[in-house]
Structure 1
Amino acid sequence: MEWLPSSSPVRLLEQPDPKYPMPEPARLLAAYRAMVLGRRFDAQATTLTKQGRLAVYPSSRGQEACQVGAVLSIGADDWLFPTYRDSVSLVARGIDPVEVLTLLRGDWHCGYDVPATRTAAQCTPLATQTLHAVGLAHGEARKGNDTVAMALLGDGATSEGDFHEALNFAAVFRAPVVFFMQNNGYAISVPLAKQSVAPSLAHKGIGYGMRSEQVDGNDAAAVLSVLDSAVAHARAGNGPFLVEAHTYRMEAHTNADDATRYRPPGEVEHWQQRDPIGLLERHLRAGGHLDDAAVERIAAEAEEFAAGVRTRMQQEPAVDPEDLFRHVYAEPTPQLTEQLAQLRAEQEAL
């Protein structure tokens, strides 16, 4: 049946697959660079939480092949619908890293220009962005545009009703949307085995009548090739596509989480052997496309990038306390008007 995903996750770096071509070396090199910069950004953001510069940060270390692959598979005119864990995707898309971190430092807006970047605000409620992606994709199709929406989500989102509603709506209306599921093994502390007993999460697409595939989410070449196919399928008017990437988050759910309470000893060490950056680096070196000098140059670029983020994030943002009352309602309620007056009185008394 053409809708069925492969019996095992697609891999390309270690074994060829006749269904999926190996991406060109130049594209893999671009992915490698973006993954190295993304990991250094991720580490810097984690450090900023310890300094009190960020309220919270959900790390995606270990998921760089997914984070970068999602962005490299879509065009500048396509839309990205990220979750709270997809900051590296936003950086890879060229969005100012300080703007990416604006929401996580406690601001009242997402920090970047959503229409200009064609990137929705990072979504914290699980799976709600999937419905937003479907609605936009359907609207673009009705306008006659060939825009594709890429909805990023985690395995925990598949346990939410919004996810199933989004798949059903997308399939019925043949919306050009790709659902890219990063299955990192846990929904906070709940392991996949307690969420679903399906053969794979990719199989969930079959019940809604859409094409599905599963891929090794730590194999950057396979992620790119599978997502290229999914995006082309959606752009050609063939309806939505569901892709499950099998990956792993090396860090805790957020800086406020203690993953040692629910992850068995040795699990992280096992996955470190399949580090996505290491896998791609070995492949590029073996093909003669990467050497020590290039690795050192990209690492130095990543350090410079992180230093720029660190310097700019040390600057205190200009804040206006009255922002607390703006855009809450179209017309302020009597309670908000009273509270605003109290704030102004306190400020005048200082």
Structure 2
Amino acid sequence: MHSSPVLVLGIETSCDETAASVVAWDGEGRGEIRSNVVRSQIADHAAFGGVVPEIAARAHIEALDHIVARAMADAGVSYDGLSAVAATAGPGLIGGLIVGLTTAKAIALAADKPLVAVNHLEGHALTARLTDGLAFPYLLLLVSGGHTQILLVRGVGDYERWGTTIDDALGEAFDKTAKLLGLPYPGGPAVERAAAVGDPDRFDLPRPMTGRPGCDFSFSGLKTAVRHAAEAAAPLSEQDVADLCAAFEAAVTDVVGDRVGHALARFRAAYPGIVTPTLVVAGGVAANRALRRRLDAELTARGFRFLAPPMELCTDNGAMIAWAGAERLALGLTDGLDALARPRWPLDQLAAPRIGSGAKGAKA
């Protein structure tokens, strides 16, 4: 047991949020967020309808020093008072990863503190332990712009991927659908707003992968079906767009509900002794209200607990990286200053790639 809290600075720069946070760990598994500063780059990328890697990397360079200084000031801690420095080392956009990891290395070297190179997905996977003290094992549904996966979380560094997308991530499908229909970026909130006044039954869209064994996802065909329906209905009125969004959202919730249902049944069979098992939902798409309602209904029917961290901790942030760093530090899992940024870094190292691999590693 530690006589004073372990304090970890976490840095997150894997995509289009520049973030830093200081998290305290009491030595017994309880955490406290001392600061959590996030600068979104949405305005920087809105004109392009998506994240431009070069713009993102430059924005991280311009903002990160100030973000880190503010996080340290908000936490009221000096660099000497830190126990370790953690940073996202992958997966993500390589330019941003290099900016954040290099900054963390410089701080760790100057302050003579351990470095923890964190897998971004592990940050999401462990957040519920920071917010709710959740015990292992549990299921994680990660739905974001870059990732759509169902993972069994058995322990720190111990993950088994049960399902992943074989093409587009769910957040990517929302963004592409929004762009196709002339809606603003980011696409998820725009599609949800339009769907609220639409008729989900007007357009008959497919439900890819539903009814099939396993827990994998596919959204590319659904996105193509939206395009075909939009072309057939052109020129589109506001109501046409709303109806297409409602149909798309309904299809998405059906697909996710079906895939998650398979995972819940598998978990129940694997861990019959857990009376009320938990599914954690993280990632930006976890904010979608229709998806939350469907998941809540699916989980309630099967006797599972639905747990979503606060929205500011579902999207990319430094607190999840600091907490993952603290959990790894407690197990002696630190890294050298030669740690590399990794644009591809599957959380389940034993899972076979679902959509190929290359020089940078497995894609998913």
Bin for the TM-score computed over the shorter chain: under 0.3
TM-score, structure 2 length as denominator?
0.25
Structure with the higher fraction of residues in helix conformation: 1
